[in-house]
Chains A and B, each alone.
Chain A
Amino acid sequence: GQQVMQIPQYQHVQEGEDFTTYCNSSTTLSNIQWYKQRPGGHPVFLIQLVKSGEVKKQKRLTFQFGEAKKNSSLHITATQTTDVGTYFCAGLGSWGKLQFGAGTQVVVTP
């Protein structure tokens, strides 16, 4: 079946460091969305990418959509303690529903 895979599942980062989380789909996606879930909270929409090769930035967060529209990445620069949480990618494919990845749980050490 259709799957959206996300790696790594766990990321331990020193404050100030950069890190990247990756999302891959077995099929071409119509769009990909990214969500952040703080500990004890609910998923909150961050951004949506639609076009092949699209790059969007939100302050220290950079989101990319691959040329083939099968993969995406989220890169965070100069990580802060406020970046703690789980980041989910979610792909919308031909199956018509949003498929969430497993998530990357980010822990930041001061």
Chain B
Amino acid sequence: SAVISQKPSRDICQRGTSLTIQCQVDSQVTMMFWYRQQPGQSLTLIATANQGSEATYESGFVIDKFPISRPNLTFSTLTVSNMSPEDSSIYLCSVAGGGTDTQYFGPGTRLTVL
């Protein structure tokens, strides 16, 4: 399985600011995803990060709020824009590939918005 790192691991941010989360994989992967996990809840898919093109967003998530970049097959960023306390959550990137849809998750970024 791939080794995935995320930066930052946690942050405390002020309302109205933006935070960019980085996801780095140690090998080239086909699929990269961004999830949100609110405290004590399940995982909600935000979007699929597509290499070289715009991300594919799930219902309820929009590019203006969660812009995503994926410049190559090993790296992606998720920005949480104009944050409010409701954005406090754990943000996880995951990867899949090699002909399988099994997903491997990064360690997550724990975000608190004051």
* A contact residues vs B (CB 8 Å cutoff): 31, 33, 41-45, 48, 88, 90, 92, 97-98, 100-103, 105
Contact = CB atoms under 8 A, between A and B. Distances in A.
B45 A45 contact: no
Interface of B: 1, 40-45, 48, 58, 92, 100-108
Contact of B43 (A43, A44, A92, A105): A43
A43 B36 CA distance: 12
A100 B94 CA distance: 13
Contacts, number: 38
A94 B100 CA distance: 16
Contacts of B40: 105
A9 to B, nearest CB: 9
A101 B102 CA distance: 15
B101 A31 contact: yes
Nearest to A43: B105
The 3 residue pairs across chains A and B that have the minimum distance between CB atoms: A42-B105, A100-B43, A100-B42
22 contacts: A31-B101, A33-B101, A42-B92, A42-B105, A42-B106, A42-B107, A42-B108, A43-B43, A45-B1, A45-B102, A45-B103, A48-B102, A97-B45, A97-B48, A98-B45, A98-B101, A100-B43, A100-B44, A102-B41, A102-B42, A103-B42, A105-B40
